[in-house]
Amino acid sequence: MLRTNIQGEPTQTFDVYERMKRYRVPAVSVAVIQNGKVSWTATYELPSPTSGKMSERTMFQAASISKSVTGLLAARLAQAGKVDLDANVDAYLAPLQLPPGKQTPANPVTLRKLLSHTAGATVSGFPGYKPGSAIPTTDQVVLGQAPAITPAVTIDTAPGSKYTYSGGGYTLLQLALERHVDMTFEQLMKQWVLDPLSMNHSTFAQPLPASAPAHASGHFFDGTEVEGGAYVYPEEAAAGLWTTPEDLANLLIAIRHAALEGGPFLSSASAQEMLTPKLNNYAFGVFVVGEGERRRFMHSGGNAGFKSTYVMFLGSGNGVVVMTNGDNGSYLGGEFVKAVAMAYHWPDFRPRDAVPAAVDHDVAAAHLGSYRYEKFEGRFPNRVVLAKQGSDWSLVLPDLGPVRIVPTGPLSFVAPETGETIEMSSGQELPFLMIGGRKATLVAR
């Protein structure tokens, strides 16, 4: 189901395999949650020489969804009195100390601020390490020391003053927990989260051992397989979880149950603390948004060759987990969530509606050409083309190719497939486009 419906056009629905081919995603695995229980699971594979080997127990990399599990770990450790979420993190890092930054003795970096991305920590995400390459320790990642390929984590804004998404901050938290509790992060997760929730097809082992359960191989945006099947992410708290949709769904169910009723695994007070959002609606490893029946927690994630997403409604106990082994899986996951929302009459996540309108053809024609994003972190070429053939407009994206766009105003368009809005510049300056809020500047006509 497309992200946006165009008024006057029939609603489009598709067979899941059609969309997998469109997005060059070899496999997608799903768990649907109804009334606080897993309702059904399914795994879809495109035909290939190796197809038929995956099941609902095949693990995928969860990427940044790992942060949600880290948030739960921190909540459990705090409940057990193992950590103080408001203590100066330097006390847990000893003998290592954070380099001087915007933190002060009166306003230190704390676990709570790291969990909510308000500690002022740098390094938003991590590219991963090819199998067989040297893998840094947690200390080396935090300090930016070889063989780490990312810069040191520093504190460049005053803690508590600003939301800045930081995988580096979560890696700093990982190091603090490892040092303080004297266990590896993998062991901590197994003892405090995975085993208690019977998540038997989940692990934070990086790299995966040869004895690991069946797991998927990732694929780049063009459909080629990631070297060695999957990159290694020693930044486990931020990106290291391997799991299945069903295991992850059961974790979401456990968090919701704790928030509503509490229990020995997690008290209601601890769960509510975990789900209390700070800046930008971010709590302990989860985004929490909406009111009443719309209140839910959610997250998405992307590692090299893997994209996943989940959403869980607190009131109804309805939700979905979608995990894919393709770089274009975020498009597929978004469509799948909307299809589930429509099928089960969710109050949110249905396709948006757009009304077509006349475009200013002279201004729009002056914008035809090739563009580059000003801020770009993709693994594909940084090139976007605004094109027109007859009366049809399209945006040629580097990962998807041509995408139809529909005029919604004199200088605006929407892409029904991706849901992104496109705004054209006006005036005499060098033409630029705002594509989903990201600026792209003209480089060739």
Do both 273 and 403 map to the same domain?
Answer: no
Do both 303 and 373 map to the same domain?
Answer: no
Do both 203 and 68 map to the same domain?
Answer: yes
* Long-range contacts of residues 310-313, Cβ cutoff 8 Å, at least 24 apart: 310/65, 310/68, 310/248, 310/249, 310/252, 311/337, 311/349, 312/33, 312/252, 312/253, 312/255, 312/256, 313/346
pLDDT in tens, 306-317: 999 999 999 999
Question: What does 288-340 look like in DSSP terms, one character per residue?
Answer: EE-SGGG-EEEEEEEETTEEEEEEEETTT--EEEEEESSTTHHHHHHHHHHHH
pLDDT in tens, 279-308: 999 999 999 999 999 999 999 999 999 999
4 located within any domain: no
Structural domain tally of the chain? 2
Do both 332 and 385 map to the same domain?
Answer: no
Residue listed under structure tokens 């609606």: 281
Q: Which of 301, 288, 297, 294 is nearest to 251 (CA)?
A: 297
Return the DSSP state at 96. Answer: -
Do both 99 and 147 map to the same domain?
Answer: yes
Where in the sequence is the domain holding 386, given as residue range(s)? 361-444
pLDDT in tens, 382-437: 899 999 999 999 999 989 999 999 999 999 999 999 999 999 998 767 889 999 99
83 located within any domain: yes
Model confidence, pTM: 0.94
147: cis peptide before it, omega within 30°? yes
Please provide the average confidence, as pLDDT, over all residues in the chain: 95
Do both 132 and 92 map to the same domain?
Answer: yes
Do both 393 and 298 map to the same domain?
Answer: no
Do both 315 and 370 map to the same domain?
Answer: no
Do both 397 and 332 map to the same domain?
Answer: no
7 located within any domain: no
92 located within any domain: yes
Pairing of strands 27-34, 384-389: unpaired
Do both 403 and 264 map to the same domain?
Answer: no
pLDDT in tens, 79-96: 999 999 999 999 999 999
Residue listed under structure tokens 């003998």: 95
Do both 316 and 389 map to the same domain?
Answer: no
